[in-house]
């Protein structure tokens, strides 16, 4: 069995604490707690990845840097893996702004991928930049049956949307279950696509009727 592509949500940021919709590059930094989460994740890896990547966002690069320090695997920064871009909602932390994004984001999970917040990306826009980046990693590093895992430090909302579309996990499950900081979605390459082998604390099979978790989707 070949290695997996492990998507890791970055550590806690000042934006997460302040409930700020922080999507534009470079974005806000990790908190002290977020740095600790990243260090713990890196030190907890039993086997170093064959390669380590992150998005261009500061929080992802910082998280990746701590994983690099723990594993000795050099961090490489990739384009197209940034968080969902929220246009006119950028920098807001109001209930109305969060509800506006949540309405659009949940619509994406149920197939309405052309929806967007004012000035922001549609679901299709996110998939069109993010999925090819993952497919390039697959073609370059995961074709050998003996290939070790890849780690990609990225962002919660984008990770969830892309992983649902690639693997077909139940729509209600994906919509209801966010990722805590430094939780992972693990994707296994299989003929014709990908299988999801972990979603945060859940392992397959993924039940559509799992109750919603408290949602902090952004980052």
User: Domain 5-199 class?
Assistant: alpha beta
Question: 96: helix, coil or strand?
Answer: helix
Say what the pLDDT of residue 208 is: 74
Going from N- to C-terminal start, the domains of the chain cover 5-199
Here the tokens at position 132 are 């090819």
Average the pLDDT over 83-104 and give the result. 96
CA distance 132 to 115: 21
**Helix/strand number for the chain, H first, E second:** 7, 6
Grade residue 80 by pLDDT with cuts at 50, 70 and 90.
Answer: very high
- Model pLDDT for residues 113-131, shown as the tens digit of each residue: 999 999 999 999 999 999 9
Query: Which tops the pLDDT comparison, 215 or 170?
Result: 170
CA distance 67 to 40: 9
Say what the pLDDT of residue 219 is: 52
Grade residue 181 by pLDDT with cuts at 50, 70 and 90.
Answer: very high
Closest CA to 23 of 78, 92, 77: 92
């Amino acid at each position: 069995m070949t290695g997996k592509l492990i998507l890791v949500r970055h550590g806690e940021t000042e934006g997460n604490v302040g409930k700020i919709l922080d999507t534009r590059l470079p974005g806000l930094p990790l908190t002290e707690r977020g740095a600790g989460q990243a260090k713990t994740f890196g030190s907890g890896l039993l086997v170093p990845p064959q390669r380590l990547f992150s998005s261009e966002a500061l929080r992802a690069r910082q998280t990746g840097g701590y994983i690099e320090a723990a594993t000795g695997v050099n961090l490489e920064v990739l384009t197209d893996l940034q968080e969902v871009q929220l246009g006119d909602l950028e920098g807001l932390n109001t209930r109305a702004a969060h509800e506006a994004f949540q309405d659009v984001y949940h619509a994406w999970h149920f197939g309405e991928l052309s929806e967007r917040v004012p000035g922001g990306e549609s679901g299709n826009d996110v998939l069109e930049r993010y999925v090819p980046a993952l497919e390039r990693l697959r073609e370059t590093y995961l074709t050998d049956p003996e290939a070790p895992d890849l780690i990609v430090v990225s962002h919660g909302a984008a990770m969830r949307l892309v992983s649902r579309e690639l693997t077909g996990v139940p729509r209600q499950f994906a919509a209801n279950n966010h990722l805590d900081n430094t939780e992972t979605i693990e994707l296994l390459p299989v003929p014709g696509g990908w299988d999801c082998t972990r979603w945060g604390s859940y392992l397959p099979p993924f039940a559509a009727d799992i109750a919603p978790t408290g949602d902090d989707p952004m980052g």
